[in-house]
Structure 1
């Protein structure tokens, strides 16, 4: 978890483009925001309507696909080389903001990172929630939780050229052994336990959009992880079908990895609390963080 402006907080394709959201969201301002903010956050004696979203539900009686089988399917899909590795990322995130004296709130953001030919890159971060298009969005970007228009630009930055040859900025390999070593180096560890592996996957996908070969190699690495078990089919928060794999961590958290059932590409990772933390108003089953990566 990161420490944000509100206190303790979880770390950080949609159906419309960021540009469309930026234009469409400008209308939802003024009195509407004041009214909705009061309704959502409430006064000092009311409970807010905004809290952790419900965790993704596995479809009952759905087909369970072992990771090794999905790794084979990913290798077959990679043979035609339809998708290519690209530096940069497009990710939608929902992170839980927590503090000692206020109820938890969920903060949705979308981030688009694009690299240029001269190795400089741009990063655009907007407040948006694909599950509620056009509605005001809660953010803590200015110090306290408040509502902004859907598509409100939280930050827009341009970074100078970078020629780092260390992971995760270095080009990821497309063989399982080399990729495993790359992931370990990316988070500065030699062990690469399953929780560390899932952390390093997030680090990788926050820098790169994987091609078919890299996704196949990553699925092979994940298939060898201990404690990552298949649970069935889910529909992710962007409406995409996926196969879900769960790891129960020792620190009161559960990680759900969602993979594309055809290509093995990582669609998202959801982290939920398995134990309540009443000091922060968190219940067992609340979603700490969710990241959905897009091409």
Structure 2
């Protein structure tokens, strides 16, 4: 039944008539290619990402063996920065689980910086155009997988994507947790959670040149209105995205591009005009970097955007549950996904 459902989804993704010239063995048209890519790689919202059974796996891992190019939607989650990572073994033959992660904590009595002021700072910092935009990404992520019959697990990984002169790109994924250097790391690279050595290479793949010039593979624009349209298209939205959907699209962008000063300034200005993002103060992210935090609260979840206070660059994005899901062992306050982007 699952195979039949998947085939039906693929048929719907390519709505070419039976007598069409490309039916059967021809290439997908542009719209069909976009829909197929969405089916394979689209990142779920933080409210629904952990509800699948059996145990949820981040889409960028589940689809890696089947995609022809980089899956830009990276699902991530975090472990608490103030508590040591604890492995719990429930019994013989039971995979290790990770203690429930906690959210980043805003520094007491810290001064919050309004997003409009941060955007002004970013524009001033971008006056000389340095650093410049580059294609590719370097991201540390912590992702939680959950199921009804097993305790939650948190999977720390580092992913580096580099593009080459011929427009091909190489992706390397490593199991590592920078907060606990040298310690064994939990991984489910073989579909069964187990401990591996710190720095264990989960995958190393080179992908051929991509033909697509659609967002997020095309360079992001420097105009705020154009960037909003770019992010809307990157997230496969037919209407103006909500704040939550916009934050998803920002993650897609940063999983594709390492933004330069001008691009970071444009993104900061766009976020400053976004409804519902509230400044809450200063935090130290999971890589030890200081940043300003901006929070958006939705139905059952909270998202925290961490930005460099001087340049406006996005450092990280955290999603936290605010409603318990007892059937999955999820408690209110548990962090479900976290990404930390680096240059």
User: In structure 2, do the counterparts of structure 1 residues 215 and 153 end up closer, same or farther at CA, with 3 Å as the change threshold?
Assistant: same
Equivalent in 60, 80, 83 of residue 108 of structure 2: 60
> Displacement, 1:205?
0.3
Between the aligned partners of 1:81 and 1:39, the Cα distance in structure 2 is: 46
Q: 1:51, CA displacement in angstroms?
A: 2.6
Q: Is the 1:52–1:288 Cα contact (8 Å) retained in structure 2?
A: no
Q: Say whether 1:191 aligns with 2:191.
A: no
Give the Cα–Cα distance (whole angstroms) in 1 for the partners of residues 123 and 197 of structure 2.
43
Q: Which residue of 2 aligns with 1:129?
A: 177
Matching of residues 262-273 of structure 1 within 5 Å: 262-273=310-321
2:286 to 215, 220, 237: 237
Residue 276 of structure 1 pairs with residue 324 of structure 2: yes
C-alpha deviations, 1:41-66, integer Å up to 9, x for none? Answer: 33169996623322100001101101
- Match for residue 217 of structure 1? 266
Alignment match, 1:105: 153
Aligned counterparts of 1:206 and 1:3: Cα–Cα separation in 2:
24
Aligned pairs, number: 269
For 2:95 and 2:332, the matched residues in 1 are separated by 18
Runs of 5+ consecutive residues of structure 2 not aligned to the other structure: 1-48, 61-85
Name the one with the larger strand percent.
1
- Is contact 2:50–2:146 with CA below 8 Å preserved after alignment? no
Q: Normalising by structure 1, what TM-score?
A: 0.87
Match of 2:46 in 1: none
Answering whether residue 203 of structure 2 is matched by residue 155 of structure 1, we say: yes
| Conservation of the 8 A alpha-carbon contact between 1:52 and 1:96 | no
> What's the CA shift string for 1:170-190, capped at 9, x where partnerless?
111112111111000101112
Partner of 1:203: 252
Counterpart position of 1:227: 276
Query: Residue 42 and residue 177 in structure 1: after superposition, are their counterparts in 2 closer, same or farther (change >3 A)?
Result: same
Is the Cα–Cα contact under 8 Å of residues 119 and 163 in structure 1 kept in the other structure? Answer: no
